[in-house]
Amino acid sequence: MAIKETGPAEGWLEIDRWSGGVGWIAYPDETMQRASHLLAVDGDVWVVDPVDIPDLDDLVAEFGTLRGVVLLLDRHKRDATAVANRHDVPVYLPDGMEGSAGAVNAPVERFLDGLPDTGYTTIEVVNNRFWQEFALYDGESGTLVIPEAVGTTPYFELRERNLGVHPVLRLWPPRKSLHGLRPERILVGHGEGVFEDAAPALRTALAVARRSAPKLYARAAWRLLTS
């Protein structure tokens, strides 16, 4: 199993479908389980951190017209340029996120407090010289889109499909950034989303991140030694 696949994504997997959008994993067998999402609001479609798939244009047409491609993590350039140029739309970046700007070869638009005309507000999750990450949160629909700080793949958590904090952030989980959120669903950048008991899952992931770190690191080291 490759950590990260390349080439045409022929066997992509649909995930996270709800009335306001859908998600997909382009390469279901890769270790990273890179997930992308489509958000639909009043006929406008926004594609978030996309890894391109052959049927992406059909997915977009199902929900409306693509208005923009959104990047929420400085190193998640993925296929944003290709998708944006194919549909002749801009790539939207949160104001304050600089890492992706130079990697995007398409028109760039900035947004500050939220994604325009959507109800999704912007949350600064982590912002330092090593890591720039933002989330989108719609309190009315209860949808939280968070690209990296938490995820559901095995390397984020000790049990598969449990929500866990990214290994690099385990000792310094972004509790302040995400405190008080009560999402009904959490869409993550790695793995399938959380659609049941999402708010408790987020609280638990943040609360146990630090004390569960040694066990998570030990498991990761054992996998490296025995692989």
Q: Mean pLDDT, the chain, as a whole number?
A: 90
Least Cα distance to 144 among 93, 75, 201, 89 occurs for 201
What ranges do the domains of the chain cover?
13-226
Residue 182: other Cβ atoms inside 10 A: 13
pTM recorded for the entire structure: 0.92
CA distance 117 to 111: 11
Answer whether residue 68 shows pLDDT above 60: yes
Q: What is the pLDDT of residue 7?
A: 60
Least Cα distance to 99 among 72, 123, 118 occurs for 72
Least Cα distance to 153 among 51, 34, 73, 53 occurs for 34
Q: Lowest mean pLDDT: which of 38-52, 100-114, 133-147, 153-167?
A: 153-167
Q: Percent of the chain scored above 90 by pLDDT?
A: 73
Q: What is the pLDDT of residue 227?
A: 47
pLDDT digits over 19-64, tens only? 999 999 999 988 889 999 999 999 999 999 999 999 999 999 999 9
pLDDT digits over 175-222, tens only? 999 999 999 999 999 999 999 999 999 999 999 988 887 777 777 665
Answer whether residue 129 shows pLDDT above 70: yes
Provide the CATH topology of domain 13-226.
Metallo-beta-lactamase; Chain A (3.60.15)
